[in-house]
Amino acid sequence: MSAPLRLMAVHAHPDDESSKGAATMARYVAEGVEVLVCTLTGGERGSILNPKMDRPDILENIGEVRRLEMERAREILGVQQRFLGFVDSGLPEDENEPLPEGCFALQPLEAAAAPLVAAVRDFRPHVILTYDDDGGYPHPDHIMTNKVSVEAFEAAGDPDRYPGTGEPWQPLKLYYHMGFTRERFEALHEAMVSRGLGSPYSDWIARWEDRPQKDRWPVTTRVPCGDYFEVRDQALIAHATQVDPDGFWFVCPREVQMEIWPTEDYHLARSLVDTELPEDDLFTGVLAEEASPACH
């Protein structure tokens, strides 16, 4: 029997895995793919974004609370998960404000990438998911997550790099999350307006031209996963300090999303296998038989 396919998703904070690519992961888990989420920081400097959870006792223990939330979301998604041990950088209100000493975003690249290289060599993923070089949005930890993900993809297969972090393993494909595209939001906006529902997306669309990297990375891959949107939503709600169940994420009815936009979308940033674009499967061109290190 051939070895299973393996997918690694690299994220900055607990809850990012549930807001980006969660339905994709749940679908692949259901199909027998091994999925590992690597969470680079503990989210220790995160704010409480759900007003129902805004209590002093929770804020004082936010790091531990978020770890427990991550464990619950992991169970819901059916994935494996590892914290890689860095400290949340926070999101400065002023772009000129210095970041806290010792935080993830200030680490030298090799120090920041080494634990991820070790995780790649241990888990041996065929496909890695991460953010684009703007981080999806310009949070310093998200931008650094892109940097270490690209570094790990390019270095993990090289026996001369990162000695002491395990046997070399070369992933075959690297994708960027493209879930927050103008095309998607306009489609959902029009669908809600046509149904007489109030749309939460008007301001987002109106501000689109102000995004510095808008439309830089074209969508190459749309993964059908609407049947797993409910699992995604349950995983999001598990991050109770970060996600208000009556908030933005849930304004558009799930059935509308499943009808209008039943995919999660990606940009293929690196590929060492032949594929034909557009794709509807992250593993296009990847065979389970390639799981042996001898193939790399």
CA-CA distance, 131 to 13, in Å (whole number)?
A: 12
> Is residue 142 annotated as involved in ligand binding?
yes
Q: Strand 80-86: give its sheet, edge to edge.
A: 80-86, 34-41, 6-11, 127-130, 173-177, 263-271, 221-224
133 annotated to bind ligand = no
Residue 260, C-beta contacts closer than 8 angstroms, at least 6 positions apart: 187, 188, 191
Query: How far is Cα 267 from Cα 260, in angstroms, rounded to an integer?
Result: 20
- CA–CA gap between residue 41 and residue 105 (Å, rounded): 10
267 assigned to a ligand binding site: no
Q: Is 222 helix (H, G, I), strand (E, B) or coil?
A: strand
The strand pairing partners of 117, in sequence order, are none
Neighbours of 295 (CB within 10 A): 10
228, 30 contact by CB (below 8 A):
yes
Taking the C-alpha atoms of residue 55 and residue 61, their distance in angstroms, rounded to an integer, is 10
Q: Which residues are annotated as a binding site?
A: 13, 16, 142
- The binding site for Zn(2+) consists of 13, 16, 142
